[in-house]
């Protein structure tokens, strides 16, 4: 089988899957984002003032956009691949002459597309509440793509190791959500006591949010080069681990 055809087939299936149910995949983040901007940006933001010279609304917009990219790129892959396992459709992929890296790439690309599409929707909504000039578009785009890639990989691993639908909700609820809210989305890490600043440095989402914020408004608490190095390191590690799980058939062939 031509690997290009196999890759395009998986990607098309993944994109059609979430587009077909857009009221469940694209509409909820639009509503949630509107509430974030109304409550945090307008009602609370006017009382907080500025952070590092930026208005509070300007400051939280990048974090909210990237938080949407993280959650939806992850959710797309974990739900899709686990459903494939649960419905036993994974057997069709396993018996087909499709390399593991093609299977992985197809699902990850689907997660990236959904994550970035949701990010675009959130960005358009943010423009209704705030008007900001993009500081460095290449850095913002690269950060968004790398972030979507990383959390798509994380969703893929979760789907492989999950044994029930409950298992695919544990990580988003008890890991991703806390890390996102503690990742500097709504505050600067400089506002924290020293000990909590040190603890926050162990949160990878903090680095991505700050890099994306720098790309949009030119403000960051973290060194941008360090962010790219950490993100790339995570991506390589999770990619190798995902390919290892596929090769061994862990969580798939039993």
SS3 50: strand
Amino acid 56: pLDDT = 86
Q: Is the dihedral of CA 82, 154, 100, 19 positive or negative?
A: positive
Furthest-apart CA atoms within the chain: distance in Å = 60
pTM of the model: 0.91
Amino acid 89: pLDDT = 75
pLDDT tens digits in sequence order for the chain, 254 residues long:
578 888 999 999 999 999 998 888 888 888 888 888 888 777 777 778 788 888 888 898 999 999 999 999 999 999 999 988 887 777 777 777 888 899 999 999 999 999 999 999 999 998 888 787 789 999 999 999 999 999 999 999 999 998 888 888 888 888 888 888 888 888 888 888 888 888 888 899 999 999 999 999 998 888 899 999 999 999 999 999 999 999 888 877 65
Q: What is the DSSP string of 61-96?
A: HHHHHHHHHHHHHHHHHHHHHHHHHHTTTHHHHHHT
DSSP type of residue 21: T
Report which secondary-structure segment, H or E, holds 107: helix 100-129
pLDDT tens per residue across span 47-74: 787 888 888 888 989 999 999 999 999 9
Q: What is the DSSP string of 192-248?
A: S-HHHHHHHTT-HHHHHHHHHHHHHHS--SS-HHHHHHHHHHHHHHHHHHHHHHHHH
Name which of 62, 69, 139 is nearest 111 in CA terms: 69
In degrees and rounded to multiples of 5, residue 55 shows phi and psi of -65, 155
CA distance 47 to 49: 6
Name which of 192, 190, 183 is nearest 65 in CA terms: 183
Name which of 55, 56, 54, 22 is nearest 36 in CA terms: 56
Chain centre to alpha carbon of residue 135: 22
Amino acid 1: pLDDT = 54
Amino acid 253: pLDDT = 66
CA distance 84 to 226: 37
CA distance 19 to 170: 25
CA distance 150 to 144: 10
**234-238, long-range: CB < 8 A, 24+ apart:** 234/150, 234/204, 235/146, 235/149, 235/150, 235/153, 238/150, 238/153, 238/154, 238/157
Count helices and strands (H / E) in the chain: 13, 2
């Amino acid at each position: 089988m031509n690997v290009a055809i196999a890759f395009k087939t998986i990607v098309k299936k993944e994109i059609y899957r979430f587009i077909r149910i857009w009221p469940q995949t694209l509409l909820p983040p639009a509503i949630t984002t509107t509430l974030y901007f109304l409550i945090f940006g307008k009602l609370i933001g006017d009382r907080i003032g500025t952070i590092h010279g930026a208005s509070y609304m300007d400051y939280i917009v990048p974090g909210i956009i990237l938080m949407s990219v993280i959650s939806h790129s992850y959710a797309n892959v974990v739900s899709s691949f686990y459903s494939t396992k649960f419905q036993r459709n994974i057997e069709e992929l396993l018996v087909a002459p499709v390399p593991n890296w093609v299977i992985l790439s197809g699902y990850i690309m689907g997660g990236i597309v959904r994550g970035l599409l949701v990010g675009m929707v959130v960005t358009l909504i943010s423009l209704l509440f705030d008007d900001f000039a993009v500081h460095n578009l290449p850095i913002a785009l690269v950060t968004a793509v790398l972030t979507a890639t990383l959390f798509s990989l994380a969703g893929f691993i979760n789907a492989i190791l999950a044994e029930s639908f409950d298992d695919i909700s544990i990580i988003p609820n008890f890991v991703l959500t806390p890390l996102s809210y503690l990742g500097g989305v709504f505050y600067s890490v400089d506002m924290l006591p020293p000990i909590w600043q040190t603890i926050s440095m162990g949160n990878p989402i903090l680095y991505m949010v700050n890099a994306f914020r720098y790309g949009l408004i030119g403000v960051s608490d973290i060194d941008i080069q360090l962010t790219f190095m950490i993100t790339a390191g995570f991506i390589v590690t999770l990619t190798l681990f995902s390919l290892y799980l596929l090769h061994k058939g862990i969580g798939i062939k039993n």
